[in-house]
Amino acid sequence: MIESHPTIEELVDYAHGELSAPDDAAVHAHLAECSSCADAHTEEVALTQLLRAHAGAEEREMPVAVAAGVREAITRRPAFGWERLQAALRPALVLPVAAALAVALYFGFNTWRGTGRSTPIDAAYYIDSHAAMAANASFGQEAPAPLTLTSDTTPDETH
Amino acid sequence: MKRTSLVVLAFVAASLALANAKPVHRTNDELLVAAMSARSSVSYTGVVQVLRIGNNASQAAVYRVEHRAPDLTRRVYTAPSSLSGETLLSNGDLSFSIDPKRRRIVETRNDAVEEAVALSANLALLRENYDVIEKGTETFDGRRTVDLVLTNKHSRHPTMLVRIDRDSNLVLDKEEFGEDGSLVSELRFEEIRYATAIPQTDFALPKSYTLVRGPSFGEPSENLAQVVRGAGFTAREPRALPDGFAPIEGNLVEMRGVLTLHLLYSDGIRTVSLFENSKASTLDFARLAPRELRVEGRDATYAEDGSTALLAWNDGALYYTLVGDLDLNEFERLAASIEKP
């Protein structure tokens, strides 16, 4: 268990499975004990899922003109001022950026609203606690263990 | 010596005595007691298949198991693919989930496992609420079994069928049924071999893995009144339980910083938990595909996880969650019986 709170970068890396094994274990243990970090982690996972869903919904074939445009951009000299701004405001760039900003504003607003918000509790907490206490039920000797085994698809499985 | 230890010894002694005796004249009740405590005295290896059938989704798992009596067990999952290769070691009240993908071990403590008094209470409830009827004998996976049907005395519905190995008293197959007679879960032991000794090294934890402390489930108390008093808020209890159900145990747990009262009720086979807390909390159902409904004029959420269901709502003062193997109608009746604020 780490003594200090993980940074937001560490939480992001943890959510994406990019930490080293000892760091991953330390953050995992910390999240089980620290509700504020667990909240931040939950929001990061939600944001990632939202962006993935958005990207999936918007996914389409790359227009032929884009590839040609890239080749042309590589060969021509750097553009100046207004031309650069025009290029940056093309829909292909503006839409994803706007989506990311909207998501960031949404979560930022929720965070800013502060402590009046209700605490999200994973339903698995209740199911696991029930299974743990009911382990002595008759013939319950092979009942599920009081934890969910880990897998790649559920990165935050053991609470 | 602790009372729990005495009860464990009594169970072991009873099971040993029954195992050594000629199995011809045992009553159904004696066979039941022997089956419930067989794992305390029999070591074995085998393959276990678990199937839990829900209305929306079902779950299945297959694992190889090594059990060294009385309480050392290792399971290695072979299916589903997401769990393949993962291992669960349990030693009494401690469990270790070994995750080779992340090279870590998650340790969980469940003090309820050693509550042998609760086991004894469950047996008393089971005798009170279920008729135990011998269905006959048959051969299951090459072993001769005695089949017992446990029929609920209140509903007259068969609730469970157990196939008990005549030689070892182990339950080789367990089927549970819903109110309508449909199969809701099955656990099958296959390729079972009884072992006189399984090496201790088979239960060793990998040394190069990081050990992480996972959730800890404290020792529950049978003194529910005392647990309720310690909640720090005015807890409310159900006025009417499903037929044959009785309060079993309770404790106070902290979930994400929210102090929560946990009360367990059982009829000897089926169980239901009531969770209450006074702090605003919302339930994250993740992959459970919840649906919205109304309970006592309040918004509620219902979800199923295999054969286990969950109903959550609040009455403006407290936040409630029911978890167990009851159907939705039973959940709704139980929720309706909880005292109003």
Structural domains in chain B, CATH included, are: 3-213 (2.50.20.10), 220-336 (3.30.200.100)
Residues of B in contact with A38 (CB under 8 A): 256
- Residue of chain A nearest B269, judged by CA positions: A138
Q: Is residue A108 part of a domain?
A: yes
In this structure, the answer to whether residues A104 and A27 fall within a common structural domain is yes
Residues of B in contact with A143 (CB under 8 A): none
In this structure, the answer to whether residues A38 and A96 fall within a common structural domain is yes
How far is B312 from B298, CA to CA, in rounded Å? 10
Residues found in chain B = 341
Residue A159 pLDDT:
38
Q: Is residue A76 part of a domain?
A: no
pLDDT at A135 over 90: no
pLDDT at A112 over 60: no
User: In this complex, how many residue pairs, one in chain A and one in chain B, have their CB atoms less than 8 Å apart?
Assistant: 193
Q: Is residue A46 part of a domain?
A: yes
Residue B151 pLDDT:
96
User: Is B324 in contact with B273 (CB distance < 8 Å)?
Assistant: yes
In this structure, the answer to whether residues A23 and A49 fall within a common structural domain is yes
B40 to chain A, any CB pair closer than 8 A? The answer is no
In this structure, the answer to whether residues A49 and A108 fall within a common structural domain is yes
In this structure, the answer to whether residues A56 and A12 fall within a common structural domain is yes
Which candidate in A30, A130, A151 is best for mutational testing of the B interface (most B CBs within 10 A)?
A130
For A140, the domain range is: 121-146+155-159
Cα distance from B340 to chain A (closest Cα, Å)? 22
Please name the amino acid found at residue B271.
Answer: T
Which candidate in B65, B66, B74, B110 is best for mutational testing of the A interface (most A CBs within 10 A)?
B110
Q: What was the ipTM of the complex prediction?
A: 0.82
Residue B222, number of CB atoms within 10 A of its CB: 14
In this structure, the answer to whether residues A112 and A96 fall within a common structural domain is yes
Residue B213 pLDDT class (50, 70, 90 cuts): confident
A53-73 per-position pLDDT tens digit: 776 666 566 666 777 777 777
Taking residues B267-287, what's their average pLDDT? 86
Verify whether the Cβ–Cβ distance A119 to B256 is below 8 Å.
Answer: yes
Query: Which of residues 102 through 141 in chain A touch B, CB cutoff 8 A?
Result: 116-139, 141
In this structure, the answer to whether residues A125 and A53 fall within a common structural domain is no
Phi/psi for B307 (5° steps) reads -90, 0
Contact partners, residue B325, CB within 8 Å, separation at least 6: B176, B184, B270, B271, B272, B307, B308, B309
Residue A113 pLDDT:
39
Residue B166 pLDDT:
93
Domains held by chain A: number: 2
Residue A42 pLDDT:
84
B119 to chain A, any CB pair closer than 8 A? The answer is yes
Q: Is residue A68 part of a domain?
A: no
B122-172 per-position pLDDT tens digit: 788 999 999 999 999 999 999 999 999 999 999 999 999 999 999 999 999
Tokens linked to A113: 């609203």
